[in-house]
Chains A and B, each alone.
Chain A
Amino acid sequence: MDIPAMRANFAKSAATGDEAPLYFYSHLFLSHPETRQLFPVSMAHQRDRLFAALGDVVARVDDLEALVPILQQLGRDHRKFGTLAAHYPAVGGSLLATLEHFDDEWSPELAKDWTEAYTLVAEVMIEAAEEAAEQPPWWEADVVAHERRTIDVGVLQVRPRKRYDYLPGQSVSLETDLRPRLWRYYSPANAPRPDGLLEIHVKARDGGPVSSALVRRVGVGDVLRLGPPMGHLALDRESDRDLLLVAGGMGLAPLKALIDQVVRNGPARRVDLFAGFRTEDQIYDRADLQRLERENPWLTVTLVVSEDKLSSLEHGDVGDVVLRNGPWLSREVFVAGPAVMVDDTVTRLVQHGVPRQRISSEVFAPSRPGPSVDGEVTE
């Protein structure tokens, strides 16, 4: 395989920006019309993702150790999109046609190399998908409760129809029939429960098609589809270190799941939760947090507002308030929320002297394609 030649060839397609993926998908849908229904109506974001993912593969093509796990994850994750082994040759054909179309120096050698490389990639992905075959590709889940807590936050209780295993702190991708083929990540706000219910916190983003539908249109009796759980925010099972949890806005959900885990499974430890919101009105889960605090003497919940002068709660950026209430040098720290808040809080805590490796964080951003900010390819 002539890898430099393949990279040069790929670069030509990648340099066209939107045109190469546009060509690719049009070619794919015309030659295999049955694949169209696997994708959303608007393909704009899909096109960005395709070439980003392909770029990742091409960049690592000579580093199989790094590439294979990414491909396996991609293969497993594509099951929820309804991808079948039969779709892979179709995609390969259109990919080759695209690479040829945008390269005037296309040669039979390139065609052979790309066919080989693609076959390899497809094999790894198909194999990983088949290994995961004892799990369903997605889980249907009934919405059993839907509560509008504020003008734009809804709390849903959903019950998967089949057993759904996940770890507290992980994220779940989900899809609603109201917005077909658009998957978004949300973190359940509870540890796995005997009755299987998941508590999902959703904030309707302005103009966000999925989140607005989940808050304003989905109701009891509707069915959601859940993808396999992902994500890296998790308690170390070996440790019983005291916890410091810092949430900004909707970042509360995974941290509440961690608290729930301590409630259900222990081990006994002190837990301090700081939850920051802009105004007091936006504290959408206050009653339940207060209940948790009442029932668990080891838990302290501090609510913080940043832009509410009339409020009697602690005032300021949540990271600032956390430090005012320190020291936290012995704690295991989890931070979740918007990017600015996470960066600010982590920086402050590191300056405060908490070792970097004891701080886990997750950024919550609108339309995040995956739960990870560490450059993991998730879609």
Chain B
Amino acid sequence: MTTEHDASATDDRSFTPADLQHVQFARASMLRPGYVDSEVDRVLSRVAEELGRLYAEKAALRDEVRSLRAQVDGVVTPVAPSEQAVRILSVAQQTADNYVAEAEEFSRQVTSEARSEYEEQVRQARENAGAIIQAAQEAAAQLSSGAPRADATGQRSVEELQEQVAYLKAFAQACRVQLRSYLEALIGDVETEWGRADPAALPQAPQRPPAQRAGTTFEANTAGEPPPEDADDLSATAGSRSAT
């Protein structure tokens, strides 16, 4: 057992409780593991406590010597604060400092979490809004160019159009999910049939039930991630509808 501190500390000045608290042991080798860490720690903290007690006692004794000496000499020395009092006030001050530091740290954590939550919400809302507006504009352009009675439809409220667009997007998304699970199931079937004919040819990839796969895709969209397919805005809109 070696310590980084003990060489310098014992040479220069007496060992303080703080020295013990900050002592660090070198890691034991792989072949010959050292002491159990927790035991070493426990002993250290007991030694530190004991040292602290001794220090306080020493301070009290020093005060006593001083006052006795003053009595013997018959000199009234100006009242200096006793070592004990200094120590008590120091501990009290440190305790107060720690409470303040903890409170500040707590406040820091809470505010920074709240801020990142806020920024994320705003960012998502803005993305969703952008996608909705874009989709509505596309739909409006399509309607006005495709239908001659564009005037009549133009009179219909924008909300109505947007609702229709959103419905179509959700519908498209649902179709895609359905189709994909159907295809997945089909591939699964083919592979099992094939596997029956030639088991060695069966790929080792884990088989996922199609329903679950569709579910994860949908969730990934609500989290605002771009899906692997080339229909970013569609899925984002569908996601926003399901999220709000």
Contacts and interface: CB of A to CB of B under 8 A. Distances in A.
Interface of A: 12, 16-17, 19, 22-23, 25-27, 29-31, 41-44, 97, 104, 151-152, 204, 206-209, 212, 279, 281, 310
A310 B18 CA distance: 54
B93 A22 contact: yes
Given A16-B18, A23-B90, A281-B122, A30 B13 contact: no
Contact of B13 (A104, A152, A209): A104
Contact of A19 (B18, B97, B107): B18
Given A42-B97, A151-B115, A206 B107 contact: yes
B126 A30 contact: no
B86 interface: yes
Contacts, number: 71
Contact of A207 (B16, B81, B111, B130): B111
Contacts of B112: 206-207
Given A26-B90, A104-B13, A206 B18 contact: no
A204 B108 CA distance: 10
Interface in B100-142: 100-101, 104-109, 111-112, 115, 118-119, 122, 126-127, 130
B108 A26 contact: no
B23 interface: no
B178 interface: no
Interface string B28-56: 00000000000000000000000000000
B80 to A, nearest CB: 7
B108 A207 contact: yes
A44 B126 CA distance: 43
Given A12-B13, A22-B90, A27 B81 contact: yes
B181 to A, nearest CB: 33
B89 A26 contact: yes
Given A151-B118, A207-B104, A30 B89 contact: yes
A29 B108 contact: no
A49 to B, nearest CB: 14
A310 B93 CA distance: 50
A41 B96 contact: yes
B93, B101, B106, B107: residue with the most chain A Cβ atoms closer than 10 Å: B93
A22 B18 CA distance: 13
A206 B18 CA distance: 31
Contact of A30 (B81, B96, B100): B81
Contacts of A41: 96, 100
Interface string B2-14: 0000000000010
Contacts of A12: 13
Contacts of B119: 279
Interface string B140-174: 00000000000000000000000000000000000
Contacts of A151: 115, 118
B107 A16 contact: no
Given A22-B90, A26-B93, A43-B93, A206 B108 contact: yes
A26 B106 CA distance: 27
B107 A207 contact: yes
B85 interface: yes
B192 interface: no
Given A22-B90, A152-B115, A281-B122, A42 B101 contact: yes
Given A16-B16, A30-B86, A44 B115 contact: no
B97 A44 contact: yes
B94 interface: yes
Contacts of A30: 81, 85-86, 89
Contacts of A310: 126-127, 130
A43 B91 CA distance: 12
Given A26-B93, A206-B112, A212-B107, A44 B101 contact: yes
Contact of A97 (B80, B87, B115): B80
14 contacts: A16-B16, A19-B16, A22-B93, A23-B90, A25-B93, A26-B81, A26-B86, A26-B89, A30-B89, A31-B79, A206-B109, A208-B104, A212-B107, A310-B130
Contacts of B16: 16, 19
A203 B86 CA distance: 39
A27 B108 contact: no
Interface string B65-101: 0000000000000011100011101100110110011
A252 to B, nearest CB: 20
Contacts of B100: 41-42, 44
A366 to B, nearest CB: 10
Contacts of A97: 80
A17 B87 CA distance: 16
A31, A42, A209: residue with the most chain B Cβ atoms closer than 10 Å: A42
Contacts of B111: 204, 206-207, 212
Nearest to B88: A26
B105 A207 contact: yes
Given A16-B18, A43-B97, A31 B80 contact: yes
A16 B21 CA distance: 13
Contacts of A23: 86, 90
B18 A17 contact: yes
A31 B108 CA distance: 36
A97 B93 CA distance: 19
Nearest to B93: A43
A120 B13 CA distance: 31
Given A22-B90, A207-B106, 15 more contacts: A23-B90, A27-B81, A30-B85, A31-B80, A31-B81, A42-B97, A42-B100, A42-B101, A151-B115, A151-B118, A206-B108, A206-B112, A207-B111, A208-B108, A279-B119
